[in-house]
Amino acid sequence: MLTHHRKPVLLSLISTDLPIWSVLETAATLYQKDSNRFHLLLTAPPVKGCNVANHISQENTLISNKPDSGSLHLETSNTHVPNGPRILWLEISSYRVIMTMQGNAQLSYRHFWEQGVYGVSRYWLPTESLQPNDPIRLRNFTRNLKLNGHPLPEHLRLEYELWAGKVQMGCYILNLEIKH
């Protein structure tokens, strides 16, 4: 029962305790695997740069180029770059989400989220890094996973914590809106 639909989507990642946020609005292809499982495939533009000043102030607070925001925002560009766009693939069900980003020699990652479970997040750095083949492994704890919409998903909300050993690396909300 493989069917697909081209849909506009809004994908956002926000930290609730760190000054980090990113928003992507684009078109995606939604594949229906069966009545409760979906794959969402989209192309994200390459990361152009970070909208953050090059220093930290004497009080150790993050200084943003946006005067009033105080937050980190990843800017993306639709212009062609040698490494090309990033492919983002989400495997979605009401109890589990797997998100994979392939970055064409850029940062790549794979996240596994399941409510109440410590999942694995893996990051592969660009080939210029010291360890190009070894991923950085982190754990994530999914506090809340909610999928709405029938027969096709319309809204996904994931709330999770990211951990490196015993150190919490922040709390995050991944929000996906699929417009019909």
User: What is the set of domains in the chain, with CATH numbers?
Assistant: 3-53+68-171 (2.40.128.20)
Contact 97, 176 (CB under 8 A): no
* Helix (H) / strand (E) containing 125: none
How crowded is residue 86: how many other Cβ atoms within 10 Å of its Cβ? 20
Is residue 128 within 8 Å of residue 153, measured between CB atoms?
no
With tokens 């684009």, the residue in question is 26
pLDDT of residue 177 exceeding 70: yes
Q: How confident is the model at residue 80 (pLDDT cuts 50, 70, 90)?
A: very low
Q: Which residues lie closer than 8 Å to 36 by C-beta, 6 or more apart?
A: 93, 94
pTM here is 0.76
Which carries the bigger pLDDT value, residue 75 or residue 161?
Answer: 161
